[in-house]
Structure 1
Amino acid sequence: MNVLCFVFGLGAWLWQETQQKTISPRIINGEKVSIKDYPYQVGLEITYHDKSELLQCGGALISKKHILTAAHCFNFRSEDPEIVTVLMGSDRSIKTFHEEGKLQSGAQLQRCRKCWRNHPKFEPVTYKNDISIITLEHEIELSSQVQPISLPKRIDLIHNMVNKPAVVSGWGLTENREASDTLRAINVTLTNQYCPEKTLCYIPVNNKSECKGDSGGPIVIEKKVVGIVSHYDSGDKKMDPTFCEQSVLIIQTNVANHLDWIQTVTKIPVENFWSALSDFIELLLGNIEWDLFLN
């Protein structure tokens, strides 16, 4: 089956053309939304020591001090980034903040150095384990514009999420191939067809797609961050890196696969074995009851 391109990729202004597995660029036909409806959404700007490159990524706030994003956001060059700028509680993008020189009312901004931790088994070539955690220096102030989102449960690893409606948000390039200055969101439908191990895949609806500008952005189902935008796989097709409305497989990191690592880094409580077992039994009994009803 064909999957329309809907990927947040690394850098709203930077691009490197590649084939096959590729990070990518923009929201196509996305709806403008309010940060109050997506208060977990975070904008990231990653700066290197020579200030010659500014990379834009997205992220999801999961506690007062922790943000989930993609590991490849910090792997654009062989050297480590110098500064990570984190924008929270804002409809407006970091680029717009720089242009206007002021924050939107209720927004919060922090900068940090060496504050991210990539998954120890992240593979830059294959994007396996493409997940990273930013630990802020200071706790953020919660408000209607800034709220952490819940992590998934272990049961979500086996729970059937095919055809589940999901939403992705960010500030990637628009259909005009310009970086969006306003937060946008689009709906997608998850699929497991051709999906690599330990990842999620999805299909845009109504020709809505996304590309360059917000790798690391959250994929949300039922108020839980289930995925992190990673990359697309175009097979043997040569892709135009500035035009993502093409048939590709969209791939994101499955957060539920990394709950133990997230708990180790952040100390955020995750469900224990007995809670996970209880969820599994409940799901199993529910499926049995449904089968009996149908038969």
Structure 2
Amino acid sequence: MYRQQQQDPNGWSYSFGYPNLISPVDVSSIRQVATTTTTTTTTTPTTTTTTPAPAIKCGKGPTALPAARSLIGERIAGSAETKANAWPFMVALRKYTNNPEILKKGINYDDFCTGTLISDSKVLLAASCLEKMSLYEMSGVTVAAGITFNKVTFTDVQMTRRISKVVLHSQFNAATYANDIAIITLEYPMALSSTVGPVCLAPASTEIDQYADQSAVILGWAIGTTNYPFSVLGKDTVSISLNSDCKADVNFGKYVTNANMCINSLNAIICDEDVGGPVVVLSSPGIWTQIGINSFIKKGCDSNSLQTRVSAFRAWIDTYSKN
């Protein structure tokens, strides 16, 4: 069951319910908030205090930028392989499929888009990941976190969660990719740990070239038409382009606004399944900040891509990450 809530000024909100169903998630793994417990007897008063667990820091990842690749024309699918759980904020959006090419691999799901954890119960992604799906299809989407790979089952997933709510930006335009941003609320929180945790987010800014000429990292699930399902999580070092250079791009220049950014790389090109995923910069050793959300991808995955600039939507993100 689902219901579309009334539109507010900045987003369309969809809520999902699962009456009379037992949730498949492990409730025991949900992160609990520690509380102070006081126990009193008629003889000697006793106070027992539980110390809260330390907060999980955002942006945990490798301590330095990965080396840039020297090969030309690679997708993220062919870029450098990441170590297991090196990027704890990466999640995959998963839906059931009847595609025979996928079924013959022994799995019945399609990892169709990417997102990032921004808290234990919120996922940041592109509105274009979900905009073409019916509400019924959205209600069947699950979010997988803590993904690692092996040659037997292809992927091992620490946790999956269903969706309880989706908010798409109210001014998202599927034709121009304007305001291509969305937030998912999970049915149950993820259990945060050293291998599953949130990304840091760029602070609010109106500066269109805030990160221009800086090095950044793009991340993707390495999906291709001939090697599905995933075999690695790919990464590559790129540079952030000037907004004026983004507007001059022959593929997506007509879509660029002050709320966009783009990357420049001859080495790795993101593809369809990487939409919604992050562009991140190294804020300090081992701490990564998301500055972009993968948005426009040219069909064929043979050129650079357009991103939604996170700092332009920070107020919007803060509003819906708290609701």
Normalising TM by the smaller chain, what interval? 0.5 to 0.7
C-alpha distance in structure 1 between counterparts of 2:83 and 2:130, whole Å: 28
SS of 1:37's equivalent in the other structure is coil
| Residues 194-248 of structure 1 deviation map (CA, whole Å, 9 limit, x = unaligned) | 341110101114x222213221011101211111000146xxxxxxx4x433xx4
1:257 to 300, 304, 312: 312
Match of 2:295 among 216, 225, 230: 230
Task: Please tell me whether the aligned partners of residues 74 and 80 of structure 1 are also in contact (alpha carbons under 8 angstroms).
Answer: no
Q: CA deviation at 1:34?
A: 2.2
Judge which range, 165-174 or 195-204, deviates more.
Answer: 165-174
1:99-114 alignment, distance < 5 Å:
100=153, 103-104=156-157, 107-112=158-163
Structure 2: tracts of 5 or more residues without a match:
1-73, 99-107, 248-255, 283-287
What CA distance in whole angstroms lies between the structure 2 residues aligned with 1:58 and 1:102? 15
Aligned to 1:73: 129
Q: Distance in 2 between matches of 1:212 and 1:102?
A: 19
Partners of 2:206 and 2:235 lie apart in 1 by 23
Aligned to 2:36: none
Higher deviation after alignment, 194-203 or 65-74 = 194-203
Aligned residue number for residue 173 of structure 1: 223
Question: RMSD in angstroms over aligned alpha carbons?
Answer: 3.2
> Which of the residues 59, 79, 87 maps onto 2:144?
87
Specify the code of the residue in structure 2 equivalent to 1:167: V
Residue in structure 2 matched with residue 274 of structure 1 by the alignment: none
Instruction: Note if 1:45 corresponds to 2:100.
Output: no
Residue 90 of structure 1 contacts residue 145 of structure 1 at CA under 8 Å; is this kept in 2?
no
| Local SS of the residue matching 1:263 | helix
Between the two proteins, the alignment pairs up a number of residues equal to: 226
Pick the aligned partner of 2:265 from 185, 204, 221. 204
Bigger helix share: 1
Larger Rg: 2
- Find the aligned partners of 1:168 and 1:77 in 2 and give their Cα distance: 26
The aligned counterpart of 2:281 is: 221
Instruction: Determine the C-alpha separation between the residues in 2 that align with 1:144 and 1:158.
Output: 33
| Structure 1 residue 160: Cα displacement | 3.4
What is the alpha-carbon distance in structure 1 between the residues aligned to residue 272 and residue 305 of structure 2? 13
| Counterpart contact for 2:172–2:180, Cα < 8 Å | yes
User: More displaced, 56-65 or 161-170?
Assistant: 161-170
Question: Judging changes above 3 Å, is the alpha-carbon distance between structure 1 residues 72 and 155 closer, same or farther for their aligned structure 2 residues?
Answer: closer
Structure 1 residues 39 and 156, CA gap change in structure 2 (3 angstroms): farther
**1:154 correspondence with 2:197:** no
Q: Structure 1 129/44 Cα, relative in aligned 2: closer, same or farther at 3 Å?
A: same
**Structure 2-normalised TM-score?**
0.61
Instruction: Please list every run of 5 or more consecutive structure 1 residues that lacks an aligned counterpart in the other structure.
Output: 1-24, 234-240, 269-295
CA contact (8 A) 2:77 2:221 kept: no
Pick the structure with more strand per residue: 2
Using the alignment, how far apart are the partners of 1:102 and 1:199 within structure 2? 33
1:115 to partner: Cα distance: 2.4
Q: Which residue of 2 aligns with 1:288?
A: none
**1:8 paired residue number:** none
Could you tell me whether the CA contact under 8 Å between 1:65 and 1:138 is conserved in 2?
A: yes
More moved, 25-34 vs 68-77: 25-34
Distance in 2 (alpha carbons) for counterparts of 1:76 and 1:111: 19
Secondary structure at the residue paired with 1:181?
Answer: coil
Q: Distance in 1 between matches of 2:189 and 2:109?
A: 28
> In structure 1, how many angstroms separate the alpha carbons of the residues matched to 2:126 and 2:95?
12
- Tell me, yes or no, if the aligned pair for 2:154 and 2:231 is still in contact at 8 Å: no
Change in CA separation of 1:176 and 1:40 when aligned onto 2, cut-off 3 Å: same
Alpha-carbon offset, residue 47 of structure 1: 4.9
Shift of residue 163, structure 1, vs aligned partner = 1.4
2:176 counterpart letter in structure 1: T
Cα displacement string for residues 24-50 of structure 1 (whole angstroms, at most 9, x for unaligned residues): x9524311112432111111114599x
When the two structures are superposed, what TM-score results if normalisation uses the length of structure 1? Answer: 0.67
Aligned amino acid, residue 166 of structure 1: A
Q: Distance in 1 between matches of 2:291 and 2:154?
A: 34
